[in-house]
Amino acid sequence: MVNGVTILGSTGTIGVNTLDVISRHRDRYRVVALAAHRNVETLLAQCRTWRPAYAALADERSAETLRAQLKCEGLATEVLDGVRALETVAALPEAQSVMAAIVGAAGLLPTLAAARAGKRVLLANKEALVMSGRLFMEAVRQHGATLLPIDSEHNALFQCMPPGFEQGLERVGVRRILLTGSGGPFRRTPPQELGAVTPEQACAHPNWVMGRKISVDSATMMNKGLEVIEACWLFNTTPDRIQVVIHPQSIIHSMVEYADGSVLAQLGNPDMRTPIAHALAWPERVESGVASLDLFARAHFDFEPPDERRFPCLRLARQALAQGGTATAILNAANEAAVAAFLERRAGYLQIPELIERALEEVPSHPASSLDVILRDDALARDCVERRLHEAAA
């Protein structure tokens, strides 16, 4: 049977790589819908190639442009517009699988819609769990969705986990999770030089090709902090069972240590097509287009603990996780606002953790009992960051 696929965030790095994997297996997968924010040019090219039944753009003006261009070219793809359109295509009955690759908080509602529609959710949007972990996991269970992680680290952990890990790691003999990270481009940069870091330098990841926001998160290691939070929800565990390990080569994507002392690791070249292919075909295996790992070319593997003085965002993520409730949503929102300001050159690199810490101090957290509460505190955190930036600029 041909599997229908919707791709949320089709014009980003994950979306483009997903289409690359699907192109190798056209007999197995059919693209039902493509969705993006406002990238008309790339989405139009994708519609020409894949002829999806639907295309969705959150930006209504961009959607109108796409609609006119598709009509001019005689393409039958129906264009939906607005934020709600993303939720609509996430729940289409024609699609069995949904790649959730919209970056940031904007991906929460469509990803949740896919879970509530009982889809196979290929989760590349970690913010869905960071912001609303309990609500999201309850939706997965209540509606019979299948949740498969796409982040290279969480996908690696999923591959190394025993059956039944959802019932608790201790019950299945898992001692701890070893969550690896490269350390980003500033792992060895003298601290006194970090204040002069530019967006271009922060986005120059040594191993991975990623979008600008996630590249900055990798540089600050907030990405790893968010992944600790995500891992707690995905693998039903607590932060004391998760150790962050800096592994500069990015070949070992994460490890699982068992009670008997065994450590299982998933290795591979740093290419997101591996976890994408794994999740698309699971429990089968298919060709991804990724080159074989040449162990002889990799003379050695290095490991070291993270320096939380250099990477304070790791500490802030654990602090928010310990606080509970909407604190992790506040953390994520403040980080998104601070990183956006840095990329727009309205804030310095070292201001990112400072702004996040102030938001955690000033915005009260509440029990994450509903989406309304979560989104309200998300907005308050963003306002807090913008207010601090305005005060600093005055």
d(CA 247, CA 379): 35
Domains of the chain with bracketed CATH: 3-149 (3.40.50.720), 164-269 (no CATH), 312-393 (1.10.1740.10)
**What's the confidence (pLDDT) of residue 360?**
98
d(CA 150, CA 152): 6
Question: What are the φ/ψ torsions at residue 10 (nearest 5 degrees)?
Answer: -70, -20
* Cβ neighbourhood burial of 118 (10 Å; 0-12, 13-18, 19+): middle
Is residue 342 helix, strand or coil?
helix
**What's the confidence (pLDDT) of residue 294?**
93
Q: Which helix (H) or strand (E) holds 10?
A: none
Q: Give me the helices (H) in 51-94, please.
A: 60-72, 83-90
Residues with Cβ within 8 Å of 88's Cβ and at least 6 positions away in sequence, in order, are 56, 80, 113
Given a contact cutoff of 8 angstroms between Cβ atoms, the answer to whether 177 and 165 are in contact is no
Each residue's pLDDT tens digit, 139-157: 999 999 999 999 999 999 9
Each residue's pLDDT tens digit, 228-256: 999 999 999 999 999 999 999 999 999 99
**What's the confidence (pLDDT) of residue 12?**
94
d(CA 67, CA 146): 33
d(CA 66, CA 61): 9
d(CA 108, CA 104): 8
Token pair, residue 6, equals: 């919707």
Q: Which of 34, 222, 42, 44 is nearest to 110 (CA)?
A: 34
**What's the confidence (pLDDT) of residue 206?**
77
**What's the confidence (pLDDT) of residue 246?**
96
**What's the confidence (pLDDT) of residue 308?**
85
Peptide bond before residue 305 is cis, with ω within 30 degrees of 0: no
Give pLDDT < 50 ranges for the chain: none
d(CA 162, CA 189): 39
Q: Which of 353, 317, 120 is nearest to 227 (CA)?
A: 317
Residues with Cβ within 8 Å of 22's Cβ and at least 6 positions away in sequence, in order, are 5, 29, 31, 280
